[in-house]
Amino acid sequence: MRFIAFDVETPNSYNNRISAIGVTVVEDGKIVEEFFTLVDPETYFSNFNIQLTGITPEAVEGAPTFEELWPRLEPVFSSGVLTAHNAPFDMSVLAKCLRAYCVEWRDTMPYLCTCQMGRRCYPALPNHKLDTLCGHVGIQLNHHQADSDSHACARLLLDYLEQGMDAEPFLRTYDLVNIRTVQP
């Protein structure tokens, strides 16, 4: 299987635009490609999100918009199973961006959540947040930085697979039109 680990940062609590995206591709048990860019969300930034991510309106000046970036993302996203930590959040932001920019792609997309997989792989941990799991496994993390978060997500997935976990039972389907996980 080919997995497309991705992480998005958002400029405000509406979570319908992206200010940064990191993508890490896993194939045949190894990381084969990584990509990161700031994104001009064409909307306002809340102080909370600026404090969380360090991304300011000035930082994204000249960065591509989601619409400009999509032709580069689409072939990669279409090539495997989207994977994220707390994936319903990242999937919803993606779906909202597709809607906001009137981008037609597909109605549904398979995905994996490394948070859900972490609960099964490491049930004794106090929580299964990205930083907790990374600390437990020994993965360096610069949290709330999309490139670091997507890389860490990919490394967690590889760790789970090395532990003998099967990804298949964790596959879910995201309804990109209605912005929700489809019940199995």
What is residue 53's predicted lDDT score, i.e. its pLDDT?
A: 97
Distance between CA atoms of residues 106 and 64, nearest Å: 22
Output the pLDDT for position 90: 98
Asked if 130 contacts 139 with a C-beta cutoff of 8 angstroms, the reply is no
To which H or E segment does residue 158 belong? helix 146-162
Question: What pLDDT shows up at residue 154?
Answer: 98
- pTM here is 0.97
- Residue 115 DSSP SS3: helix
Q: DSSP readout, 69-92?
A: HHHHHHHHHTTSEEEETTHHHHHH
- In total, the chain counts a number of residues equal to 184
Q: How far is it, in rounded angstroms, from Cα 136 to Cα 121?
A: 12
Q: CB-based contacts of 135: which residues, under 8 Å, 6+ apart?
A: 141
pLDDT of residue 183: 74
* Cα(20)–Cα(46) distance, integer angstroms: 15
Geometric angle at alpha carbon 140, from 139 and 142, rounded to 5°: 135
Neighbours of 30 (CB within 10 A): 9
Tens of pLDDT along the chain (184 residues)? 899 999 999 999 999 999 999 999 999 999 999 999 999 999 999 999 999 999 999 999 999 999 999 999 999 999 999 999 999 999 999 999 999 999 999 999 999 999 999 999 999 999 999 999 999 999 999 999 999 999 999 999 999 999 999 999 999 999 999 999 997 6
Identify the pLDDT of residue 184. Answer: 65
